Amino acid sequence: MNIHEYQAKELLKQYGVAVPDGKVASTVEEAVNAAKSLGGDIWVVKAQVYAGGRGKAGGVKLCKSLDEVKQAADDIIGMTLVTHQTGPEGKPVDMVYIEKGSNIETELYIAITLDRATSRLTIMASTEGGMDIEAVAEETPEKIFHTSISPVTGLMPYQGREIAFRLGLTDPQQVRKAQQFMSGLYNCFVELDVSILEINPLVVTKEGDILALDAKMNFDTNALFRHVPIEGMLDERQEDPREVMAAQHELSYIALDGEIGCMVNGAGLAMSTMDIIKHCGGSPANFLDVGGSATEDRVKTAFEIILSDDNVKGILVNIFGGIMKCDIIAKGVVSAAKNINLSVPLVVRLAGTNVEEGKKILAESGLKITSASDLGDAAQKIVNEVKTAKAA
């Protein structure tokens, strides 16, 4: 789960991580009043969206007067911000973060994430702060270094000092501040079940302070039951409405850019289904897992979500019944197809518990549903039917 920059900074402050003073605003008037209350003579107006690359897209503006703050807020609030991370459809900007300007001397980069190769948390750091870290990794990977953290000891003080030295910090006071900064980041990451915590840039000011000038924080969705206040931070306006609807019905849905909608039970089956569709010459339009305890109504909802994508030209249902019974899936498929007046090809492959009952329900439905004997057969049939329908 994502949260906004201003929310991430609020959480970081609770762990002693230094961040610039700032206030969030949803209107131009609120933005100007926020700048007044922060004081100073330089402010930064930042679009709050779930994406990086805001500055290059016009979503971050430096202002040297209240009139400039007013103009920047007026330009940014209500815009659709398109960056390299949003895709061409962009993200709506409903609020801005007004931050007091910082007297920057050096821009650095630091992040914490899980290294799956070592099964340990790892701190990634670089002197190339403020830049696209993916570009740095590709062009000058030697400028990024990694520090592995033992799950037994956690982040040790000597590791914090070592990272500070490698970032070019030599002043004893700055090294101490950097060590405290990294300790706060680590404690926040572990205690809140964060999946990635990225500070880009981490800045050293001319006054010798070390601040998180930006903050990106994602959370492990499976652990949100332990962090109800954080779960409430989700801004549904920033999410795909189909994914929000799916989550409300306990469905796992991820939109893709293909034309064959997929409904399966089990993440592994979903991935293999998408792979074989691709192998047969088609392209999957989504990842949708109804889970092992889907009801007839949930299956109907899954169909509605799939068909809300105008790019979907056909649907493949691939169910292996274990806990999930094939007859329940079949009833849901038939009910959904009748209620929404299904007009695209539908191929269904059922196997496992109550499979014969499921096949009978489909056969007696009176609907144009193509049955398949196995996954390979199902994928080839839906790909062929979609091609035929497009050619007609």
E strand map for the chain: 22-25, 43-47, 60-63, 80-81, 91-92, 96-100, 104-115, 120-126, 144-149, 194-205, 210-212, 216-219, 252-255, 260-264, 286-289, 314-321, 346-352, 370-371
Query: Among residues 6, 50, 97, 109, which one is catalytic?
Result: 109
Token match 């914490």: residue?
112
Token match 């033992």: residue?
150
Which helix H or strand E contains 41, and what residues bound it? none
**C-alpha angle 297/303/308, rounded to 5°?**
125
Calpha distance 60→48 (Å, rounded): 9
Number of neighbours of residue 247 by Cβ within 10 angstroms = 16
Q: Report DSSP state, residue 150.
A: -
Calpha distance 197→216 (Å, rounded): 6
Using H for helix, E for strand and C for coil, what is the string for 194-258?
A: EEEEEEEEEEEECCCCEEECCCEEEECHHHHHHCHHHHCCCCHHHCCHHHHHHHHCCCEEEECCC
Calpha distance 127→368 (Å, rounded): 61
Cα distances from 325 to residues 289, 341, 359, in angstroms, run 15, 24, 12
Query: Are residues 289 and 252 in contact, defined by beta-carbon separation less than 8 angstroms?
Result: yes
Token match 């807020």: residue?
73
Query: Among residues 198, 253, 259, 385, which one is catalytic?
Result: 198
Active site annotation includes 109: yes
- Show which residues are catalytic: 109, 198
